[in-house]
Amino acid sequence: MAMHLAGAGHEISVYNRTRSKAEAFVSEYGGRIADTPADAVAGAAYVAMCVFGDDDARAVTLGDNGAFEAMSPNAVFADHTTASSETAELLGSQADSRGFFYLDAPVAGAEEAAKTGLLTVMIGGAEEGYQKAKPFLDVYSKAAELMGPNGHGQLTKMVNQIMISANMQGLAEGIVMGQQTGLDLEKVLNLLGQGSAQSWWLDNRGARMAGAALDETDGGISTMTKDLGICLNEARRNGVPLPITSLIAQFFVAAKAQGRAKWESPSLITLWDRRYD
């Protein structure tokens, strides 16, 4: 996201809790390295944050030298973290009391979309804040839509994670079935990708799953374990039954327990693929 903003000519400051990452970014794309979140946002019209989860988001915004201490009046803070709706509501309230706009704005599209500036952004917040943010969001997204008040961006992301987890699980089971019954999986996936079984996950991850060539550094298993936990907590809070999602969430927990937390999310296939025994 910062790469695309810098490429569009915006003057940027960057902060990362691992300073070497900020240094590497600035050496390649320019900008200023900030020492703290508050330093990073001082004087900014637009701020984008993306961290792992609820605790991280609260620490970076409300902790010591947190970003919310130094936000300019009427500036926009777009939080691209995937977190709970409760955290989004809290941070939205804090921002409102301090005179700036907070948008919970989780993203979808995986690494490919982030690198190409084609993310999908689901947003919760005020219309005025959304309109102020839109020119910046358009730099690194193909679609950015206001879904409702604070919390609704995160709720929309939960629906996204429910749907993609089921897609990954179905793809994993289908590939295992094909592999263990002797099918030519390259032909199978090429053919089925032209019919009603086609999906982004089949197109972009099917070949790696079929070839037992999964990325072991992506961190997707850990991320999906966290994300589905958020979904299930929200479902309990609202009395919504999610029986299939509950089951799939346990598969991600099992894959993580097998030491695959850093593997990419479709690595839940390793629970059934005998090549990983």
Residues 269 and 159 in one domain: yes
The first and second tokens of residue 200, run together, are 């982004």
Residue the block writes with tokens 């050496």:
27
Residues 94 and 127 in one domain: yes
Residue 109's φ and ψ, nearest 5 degrees, are 130, -5
Residues 173 and 249 in one domain: yes
Pick from 135, 150, 165: which residue ends a domain? Answer: 150
Residues 168 and 220 in one domain: yes
Residue the block writes with tokens 């637009």:
46
Question: The domain spanning residue 253 has which CATH number?
Answer: 1.10.1040.10
Residues 162 and 266 in one domain: yes
Enumerate residue ranges in the chain where pLDDT < 70: none
Question: The domain spanning residue 27 has which CATH number?
Answer: 3.40.50.720
Q: What is the pLDDT of residue 277?
A: 87
Residues 70 and 198 in one domain: no
Residues 95 and 180 in one domain: no
In 3D space, the residue among 95, 97, 102, 98 whose CA is nearest the CA of residue 132 turns out to be: 102
Find how far residue 230's CA is from the centre of its chain: 13
Name the packing angle between helices 220-238 and 152-180 (round to 10°).
120
b/e for 38-74, b at 16 or more Cβ within 10 A?
Answer: bbbbeebebbbbbbebbebbbebbebeebbbbbbeee
- Ramachandran quadrant class, 64 (left: phi over 0; alpha: psi -120 to 50; beta: rest): beta
Mind telling me the catalytic residues? 157
pLDDT (tens digit per residue) in 75-132: 999 999 999 999 999 999 999 999 999 999 999 998 889 999 999 999 999 999 999 9
Residues 174 and 144 in one domain: no
The first and second tokens of residue 263, run together, are 């593997």
Residues 231 and 138 in one domain: no
Pick from 130, 150, 170: which residue ends a domain? Answer: 150
Residues 270 and 198 in one domain: yes
In 3D space, the residue among 160, 157, 171 whose CA is nearest the CA of residue 266 turns out to be: 171
Residues 143 and 170 in one domain: no
pLDDT (tens digit per residue) in 70-91: 999 999 999 999 999 999 999 9
Dist CA 150 CA 126 (whole Å): 8
Dist CA 40 CA 197 (whole Å): 45
Residue ranges making up the domain that contains 52: 2-150
Counted domains in the chain: 2
Q: Which residue stretches of 19-126 are H helix?
A: 19-29, 37-41, 54-62, 85-98, 110-116
Residues 217 and 266 in one domain: yes
Pick from 118, 150, 182: which residue ends a domain? Answer: 150
